[in-house]
Chain A
């Protein structure tokens, strides 16, 4: 790109980039349009997302150009593209390289809502697997007619239907425009799970090479012809209002094209990126804000949570409470577990590019949901949805609802002010830290009783939290809209419905307990902005349940693994526990000075992946925090399409959960968020990463996909606390389990 001795011409390079973009903006797929306009109600008899998008050619197109598969799900660094390609290749009997995958784009792909909840394999993987199998059978039927051969004699392979004797017809020669424009059938002739060729193998991720060679891989890397750069001057605190700003001097700064002011919404547009940063800093200095001290006192937060009005959501009631007076005091335990607000903490601040041209808006965005975002942006800008297109392009890992949608709203609001010019907006680090919606603070109280044989006979559990999703929705859930001259407000927060739940996700233990009561206290008042963070309430609930299981096991004088197994009936739960314990060497483990081991188990959402984990720690009494030496996990995600992809996600989930659990809690004073960078909100670095993390994948060929991405968060947190308790005798119930807390607990 850079030529010796020549000045690089920006314009020349930009026009090259522009040429690339044209191919990016293909006409909408007819099939996707047809499926949407059909307006049919969801057909519950169909598998996965075929329910809402039943036409086969919404998922799959075959022509002389090759095989194209469409998914409404987004690559977020979880490897979904590779897994979906494998699923399609398996059922179409082709090599993965033969498939082009198109991900979330409102003009081209099915509407599969959000890429969230570890549902992409269940929704999209299942849909693509069934659509591909049905397409294959349609092509075999067509070939049967053409070749005058019975269907049973024909096989599909390498992009063709093959007859005995070697006669073959390529898929592209069998399929015409309308061939796959048919509704899916409820049942599909799925391939035999015993003869997988592509699924079940650790196919290398298709997105990794571009990332190691510095190719265009992220929304941050988009460069459109004529693109300009914007930065937003965010208010200093949630409730701040812009009193005044002198923008004339800013307009005289080099490269500055435009200052956007709309109520308390303030942004600047410049020709070059760093010019936008300099202008944003100057504009920020020029702005006068009115703030108010309306945040709670952080040290009182949990007391406030208990005092603030809450709505009771019953989760489960089983049996009737035993006569507690007849139980021995030693067999009755109670405990309280707490976590503060947690940040998603994406390494790359949120970014989007928007182009407002001739009354139509195109937004390239790292959103998890192009269709919901399109609805919200259409409302925000006042355009019909048909005039808005959202195209998902990867950003840095998001781990839930971070600033991605808000950055798209920023880009749209600013692009509307400079029509005809693509606008790239990237947040600064403090924007992301202070404005992303956090994972809610949570508090859980549990009581449990054991009988003489060490069986749990009574369990009472109550958990408090804010909502765990404020995703759009509508424009009112886009944070920039709160500061416009005519501001929009988010709707009243709601608890998420069971069985998946939000704050009550995984609040019900999977253990056999004859008498139990579980409920959720939904706290509508949310002083800090909150939304979906990887695993929602399951992190704290599993941390609490699995810590408490260890406390009960200790009271029962039983080994924690044995204690869990005695209370479980589900053979797949038992299998992951045995696999993790065995690979870890649970029984053989010999404790060294300061060392300890901890165990935990959960089935995510009580209906998805099973995960058991064993952790070995070393706690140096003078040291700042426990050192995680070794982690072994076993996971059952149903049929494993890409075992290494599953291992990668579980390893990552474990390490991220260790970071949350050891180190993290958003700090704030009465007015502002004070966690504004990686110094004031530290996360795990290499020195604190475990020495080893091993993940055993229990593959279940032929079983439904159960998803993977969030399964480790709760169990990793609990196993760590259990290991610290084993090493020190100290039971830590408040997160983060940072060094100060451990030292404090040791002193007391």
Chain B
């Protein structure tokens, strides 16, 4: 049994320790967000966060992750309470086929958590490991920019109410 903290909740999985995290997320835990793209860490479709840092879940053995915090796109929000990036991707219509979308969102999430107002160059540089074959790059950058603005606005509102930024 390997204990993980998945989207803020404790779970235990019985997969072989060498099993890449991606298969645990998709096959054992039945989450859809992380996608199989290459299995080689070349395309980023499988990107999730481990302790807040983006990783290629297709090449990280689950046995190395005991007790670590894993965030998938399912953990960022729901239709009722969308995360800032999820909302921004919808508002910018920043998807064509959408297969790369969850990986893009997570890599952007990691960026925004360490840099609240990145430049376009910084956004592009952060997203460089992730491939999009449909050519949605411009919209994806725009969505990340929009999410950054919204998060800052929400943070400012939160401060003015002496509350947390959530």
Contacts and interface: CB of A to CB of B under 8 A. Distances in A.
Interface string A386-417: 00000000111101000000000000000000
30 contacts: A3-B9, A4-B10, A7-B12, A7-B13, A8-B11, A10-B28, A77-B95, A211-B101, A212-B82, A214-B73, A345-B133, A347-B35, A347-B132, A399-B133, A648-B93, A648-B96, A651-B136, A651-B138, A654-B135, A656-B134, A677-B38, A678-B38, A678-B42, A683-B133, A684-B135, A686-B127, A686-B130, A689-B137, A690-B138, A692-B138
Contacts of A5: 10, 12
Contacts of B32: 214-218, 221
B34 to A, nearest CB: 8
Contact of B136 (A6, A277, A652): A652
Contact of A397 (B20, B42, B96, B102): B96
Interface string B8-31: 011111111001100100111111
B72 interface: yes
B6 A659 contact: no
Contacts of A652: 96, 134-136
A13 interface: yes
Contacts of B56: none
B113 to A, nearest CB: 18
Measured as residues with beta carbon below 8 angstroms from the partner, the interface class of chain B is 35 or more
A677 B36 CA distance: 14
B16 A254 contact: yes
A96 to B, nearest CB: 15
A516 B115 CA distance: 59
A17 to B, nearest CB: 7
A57 interface: no
Contacts of A214: 31-33, 72-74, 102
Interface stretch (A200-208, A484-492, A499-507, A696-704): A200-208
Interface of A: 1-8, 10, 13, 17, 76-79, 202, 204-205, 207-209, 211-218, 220-221, 223, 229, 254, 272-274, 277, 345-349, 394-397, 399, 426, 428-429, 644, 648-649, 651-656, 658-659, 677-679, 683-687, 689-693
A349 B10 CA distance: 31
A397 B134 contact: yes
A79 B97 CA distance: 8
Contacts of A76: 97
Contacts of A686: 124-125, 127-128, 130, 137, 141
Given A347-B45, A652-B136, A685 B131 contact: yes
Top-6 shortest CB links A-B: A77-B97, A655-B135, A214-B33, A211-B98, A397-B97, A652-B135
A285 to B, nearest CB: 17
Contacts of B30: 1, 8, 13, 17, 223
Contacts of A10: 28
Contacts of B72: 214
A490 B32 CA distance: 36
A212 B37 contact: no
